Chains A and B, each alone.
Chain A
Amino acid sequence: MKLFDPTSKPVERAVRLAPRPASPKGLRLGLVDNTKFNSDILLKKLAERLAARHQMTVSATNRKRSPSHEIDEAGIRALRAQSDLVISGIGD
């Protein structure tokens, strides 16, 4: 008898990590607001703390179409060009 595997594994894609910053001091900060309730408030507070502690400045903010949607290509390009560090992933 045979078992037929009904599952699929995620498609593997090479992901190259950006080089880690040597120091957090003075980094340009990108923020991704996924539009979840209070996510903008939390991100703003976080950015204030990072500015106070590490002199980071918010250089780019991306507000996603919805939590279900990915950031579009133009948004990714802008974050890449304008930021040294990006914060994303706000939950409920």
Chain B
Amino acid sequence: MSELDEAADPAALIEAYYDAGWTDGLPVVPPSDASIAAMLAAAGLEGPERLGEIPGRNTEVIAEKAAINAVMAGCRPQYMPVVAAAVRSLCAPAFAYHGPASSTGGSAMVLVVNGPIARRLGINSGNNAFGQGHRPNATIGRAVRLIMMNAMNTRPGFLDRATLGNPGKYAFCFAEHEEDHPWEPLHVSRGLKAEDSAVTLIASNSVYQVYNQLAASPEPLLRCFADALGNMGSPNLKGFNETLIVFAGEHADILKAARWSRSDVQRFLVEHARRRVADFKRAARMPGAVTAADETTWRHVFERPEDILIACAGGRAGSWSACLPGWGNKWTRSITTRIDDALLGRQT
């Protein structure tokens, strides 16, 4: 903490945070003792409490630092339980933070929020769910990235080695559209109860939208997804990694009307997301000359149905959904962290 000579001009204070190198490029909300305390209280945290650690990087995330960054990001105090759960996910050993956080692949940390807290906080799950315009979506995602930069030493050019990065690195948080869902919500598919609140974290290099306005049944629709997931530029084409698919309204309706289950969709995509070895070799995604056998030998993009995470979000109108390929080569796993019910009572 340091004293500023400038008059109490908010712009000067914001500039001071820029000068210190503590922003993500956008202006931050200057914290105060009161705003930090409110952030901690809303999440039931004590300042010195440790939210998690990354032992290989000698990194510990302390609650007070997380709260400072959450204020800077523009969070309201009631968002802090979601931010804290996301940080715990980042620090889960199975997430293997070092890879997705520091890779040249430049992953966004995608947060899918489920359960009562999503509705209570007004996290957008509808039109423009990945886009601008909703404070909790923008600021919860931003808080997580600021915590990574400031409290987890993950700065561009240093321990963030992203070649291009992607705009989702500023913030990527949305809620699942749980009403009128074809299946059980994402967090329930991962072992929690419908009445639980939870955050699911997955590191994703990119988001690409999948379009199909003609398909009236699951098979042709899902062939578009299988093709998108198996494109030759996809980083994980050989890795059997996880992927997140987000179905929006019209596409979700097609699957629902046909009574396809979540596992039906997953199995179809495991079967159809594939490429011939010859394709891999011609595109130099595998070494060696193309042989006759390569023309009829298939490699599948996914190994297990459960490696395909499926969520529903977005507007009711429009023939768009999205694929978000997971980073890495089974080197990281998505993490779902439950949010303590007791914290919901603090959401005033």
Chain A positions within 8 Å of B96 at CB level = 66, 68-69
Chain A: minimal CB distance from B55 (Å): 7
A6 CB within 8 Å of chain B: yes
Chain A: minimal CB distance from B157 (Å): 16
Q: Is the CB–CB distance between A66 and B99 below 8 Å?
A: yes
Q: Which of A3, A6, A13, A66 contacts B330 (CB 8 A)?
A: A66
Cα–Cα, bound, A68→B58 (Å): 15
Q: Which of B31, B151, B331 contacts A8 (CB 8 A)?
A: B151
Q: Which of B22, B57, B332 contacts A6 (CB 8 A)?
A: B22
B4 CB within 8 Å of chain A: yes
- Complex: chain B residue closest to A70, CB-CB: B56
Q: Which of A6, A9, A13, A92 contacts B72 (CB 8 A)?
A: A6
Q: Is the CB–CB distance between B330 and A5 below 8 Å?
A: no
Q: Is the CB–CB distance between B329 and A66 below 8 Å?
A: yes
A16 CB within 8 Å of chain B: no
Q: Which of B11-26 contact A (CB under 8 A)?
A: 13, 16-17, 20, 22
Cα–Cα, bound, A68→B331 (Å): 6
Q: Is the CB–CB distance between B2 and A6 below 8 Å?
A: no
Chain A: minimal CB distance from B1 (Å): 5
- Complex: chain B residue closest to A11, CB-CB: B58
Q: Is the CB–CB distance between B16 and A6 below 8 Å?
A: no
- Complex: chain A residue closest to B331, CB-CB: A66
- Complex: chain A residue closest to B327, CB-CB: A68
B138 CB within 8 Å of chain A: no
Q: Which of B306-348 contact A (CB under 8 A)?
A: 328-332
Chain A positions within 8 Å of B150 at CB level = 6-8
Task: Name B's A-contacting residues (CB within 8 A).
Answer: 1-4, 6, 8, 13, 16-17, 20, 22, 30-33, 36, 53, 55-62, 65, 68-69, 72, 96-100, 104, 146, 150-153, 328-332
A2 CB within 8 Å of chain B: yes
Interface residue total, chain A, C-beta cutoff 8 A: 20
Chain B: minimal CB distance from A79 (Å): 16
Task: Name A's B-contacting residues (CB within 8 A).
Answer: 1-13, 65-70, 92
- Complex: chain A residue closest to B98, CB-CB: A68
Q: Is the CB–CB distance between B65 and A6 below 8 Å?
A: yes
With A68-B331, A69-B331 already in contact, the answer to whether A7 and B65 are too (CB < 8 A) is yes
Q: Is the CB–CB distance between A3 and B16 below 8 Å?
A: yes
Q: Is the CB–CB distance between A3 and B1 below 8 Å?
A: yes
With A11-B60, A66-B329 already in contact, the answer to whether A6 and B68 are too (CB < 8 A) is yes
Chain B positions within 8 Å of A67 at CB level = 99, 331
Q: Which of B55, B100, B152, B329 contacts A70 (CB 8 A)?
A: B55
Q: Is the CB–CB distance between B3 and A2 below 8 Å?
A: yes
Chain B positions within 8 Å of A2 at CB level = 1-4, 32-33
Chain B positions within 8 Å of A66 at CB level = 96, 99, 328-331
Cα–Cα, bound, A42→B218 (Å): 47
- Complex: chain B residue closest to A1, CB-CB: B4
Chain B positions within 8 Å of A12 at CB level = 58
Q: Is the CB–CB distance between A6 and B56 below 8 Å?
A: no
- Supplied contacts A8-B60, A8-B65, 11 more A-B pairs, CB within 8 Å: A2-B32, A3-B30, A6-B22, A6-B68, A6-B72, A7-B153, A8-B59, A10-B57, A11-B60, A12-B58, A67-B99
Cα–Cα, bound, A68→B20 (Å): 30
Chain A positions within 8 Å of B17 at CB level = 3
Chain A: minimal CB distance from B283 (Å): 15
Q: Is the CB–CB distance between A8 and B22 below 8 Å?
A: no
- Complex: chain A residue closest to B64, CB-CB: A4
Q: Which of B2, B62, B98, B332 contacts A3 (CB 8 A)?
A: B2
Chain A positions within 8 Å of B4 at CB level = 1-3
Chain A positions within 8 Å of B59 at CB level = 8, 10-11
Chain A positions within 8 Å of B31 at CB level = 4, 6
Interchain residue pairs with CB less than 8 A apart (6): A3-B20, A6-B68, A7-B65, A8-B65, A9-B153, A68-B331
